[in-house]
Amino acid sequence: MPVLVMKFGGTSVATLDRIRRVAKRVGVEVAKGYDVIVIVSAMSGETNKLVGFVNETSPLFDAREYDAVVSSGENVTAGLMALTLQEMDVPARSWQGWQVPVRTTSAHSAARIEEIPTENINAKFAEGMRVAVVAGFQGLSHEGRITTLGRGGSDTTAVAFAAAFGAERCDIYTDVDGVYTTDPRVSPKARKLEKIAFEEMLELASLGAKVLQTRSVELAMRYNVKLRVLSSFGEQSDDAGTLVCDEEEIMENRPVSGIAFSRDEAKMTLVSVADRPGIAAAIFGPLSDAGVNVDMIIQNIAEEGRTDMTFSCPTDQVLRAEKALTEAKTRGEINFNELIADKDTAKISAVGIGMRSQSGVAAKMFKTLSNEGINIKVIATSEIKISVLIDRKYMELAVQALHDAFELEKA
């Protein structure tokens, strides 16, 4: 029988009533003839509660025990979902990560999936099981310890299972009914997209859109897994939600498909650093070692052997960045006159695969922001993305203006 993967997030399984609701959705797909692999998250709020228990018990916790505790929320949901399906006379069984087993690296709390053997679950399908309810977010290390994949890791679990089992599709059920041209809470004109290319979704996810975890989109693109994002509270139909697919399946490529934003960005500038070969490595090496997620980078024109280096990072990583750069200066690896941190900035990005073949996107974006009196602090581009850093107080205005300028409300 064909295999379908269905993933349900925490809000979708937050209560027993909601678990019963999504179990009925699973039952509909079973009735269509699918063998279904259901990936479940912990019930809404449960993981945060477990993380709180760990921090209160041991602020400098052992990462292996952290994973043992925080992974337990998914086990509860998987068992309850399997029991609910059994009450509906649907042959179902729950599976924890170690039972599959989902083999991962040993990087606790940030493990990566290496292999998902299909033999155990396929054997149960052959015996008459119709639904395998798998605890998302977790796996098994080479040392035989439980690991977790990082927050949002159940999305990655779902895509990895779809790739391993050659699933017809991977449906990601959330509390939103698809992928929008921007956040509807910021722009009331935001429109739900019927389809979006993998590359566009990857950019949007990495730039602040919270619909899908970035790693899950990377996996889907690598293995060409069709993803569908839809609401567990809306209607159940074959054309509901947004399909994330290969670019070739999209008839017409608009120059811009969506406007993404990240509210909590900081602009950091090293004033008067030496303009010499290796200076960039000397700056960004320590930042990488400190786990600082650097995004936009700009180097000013050098004068008399000195230059300024500016980069952006999340605001909650500013202290870490300052510490890493100050220590590098103390060690004599770099020298600068001043380190300036502006923590009142936001990142706005226009994303679209149509940029490859259509000109004028950057000009329209910059003109639109200029007309609104919004100053651009930093610019970064890729083949299908233009990102700018602006004052945070103008973020919502910028999103709305760009959404209007590129007429994203029109189908």
pLDDT in tens, 284-331: 999 999 989 898 998 887 677 788 999 999 998 999 999 999 999 999
Amino acid, single-letter form, for residue 298: I
Amino acid, single-letter form, for residue 142: H
CATH 3.30.2130.10 in the chain: give the residue spans.
259-405
* CA distance readout (Å), 102 to 131, 391, 405: 17, 44, 46
Distance CA 327, CA 333 (A): 9
Q: Does domain 259-405 have CATH number 3.90.580.10?
A: no
CATH 3.40.1160.10 in the chain: give the residue spans.
3-175
| Residue 152 known to bind ligand | no
Report residue 335: phi and psi, to 5°.
-140, 135
* CA distance readout (Å), 244 to 199, 224, 248, 344, 382: 9, 10, 12, 33, 20
Nearest Cα to 272, choosing from 308, 240, 244, 314? Answer: 308
| Residue 47 known to bind ligand | yes
| Residue 180 known to bind ligand | yes
Q: Specify the pLDDT at position 359.
A: 86
| Residue 185 known to bind ligand | yes
Q: Which residues contact 380 (CB under 8 A, 6 or more apart)?
A: 295, 296, 297, 298, 386, 387, 388
| Residue 8 known to bind ligand | yes
Q: Specify the pLDDT at position 210.
A: 67
Q: ∠ at Cα 34 (247, 156), nearest 5°?
A: 50
pLDDT less than 50: residues of the chain: none
| Residue 74 known to bind ligand | yes
| Residue 310 known to bind ligand | no
Q: Specify the pLDDT at position 176.
A: 81
| Residue 7 known to bind ligand | yes
Distance CA 81, CA 70 (A): 19
Distance CA 108, CA 170 (A): 26
Asked if 130 contacts 28 with a C-beta cutoff of 8 angstroms, the reply is: no
Nearest Cα to 85, choosing from 8, 141, 140, 147? Answer: 8
| Residue 356 known to bind ligand | no
Distance CA 266, CA 391 (A): 10
Q: At what angle do helices 279-289 and 318-330 cross, to 10 degrees?
A: 130
Q: Specify the pLDDT at position 406.
A: 95
| Residue 11 known to bind ligand | no
Q: Specify the pLDDT at position 208.
A: 60
According to DSSP, the β-strands at 258-274 and 338-351 are antiparallel
Partners of 90 in the β-ladder: none
Q: Specify the pLDDT at position 136.
A: 96
Nearest Cα to 257, choosing from 343, 315, 190? Answer: 190
> Domain 3-175, what architecture?
3-Layer(aba) Sandwich (3.40)
| Residue 24 known to bind ligand | no
Q: What is the 3-state secondary structure (H, E, C) of the chain?
A: CCEEEEEECHHHHCCHHHHHHHHHHHHHHHHCCCEEEEEECCCCCHHHHHHHHHHHHCCCCCHHHHHHHHCHHHHHHHHHHHHHHHHCCCCEEEECHHHCCCEECCCCCCCCEEECCCHHHHHHHHCCCCEEEEECCEEECCCCCEEECCCCHHHHHHHHHHHHHCCCEEEEEECCCCCECCCCCCCCCCCECCEEEHHHHHHHHHCCCCCCCHHHHHHHHHHCCCEEEEECCCCCCCCCCEEEECHHHCCCCCCCCEEEEEEEEEEEEEEEEECCCCHHHHHHHHHHHCCCCCCCEEECCCECCEEEEEEEEEHHHHHHHHHHHHHHHHCCCCCCCEEEEEEEEEEEEEECHHHHCCCCHHHHHHHHHHHCCCCCCEEEEECCEEEEEEEHHHHHHHHHHHHHHCCCCCC
Distance CA 135, CA 390 (A): 41
| Residue 392 known to bind ligand | no
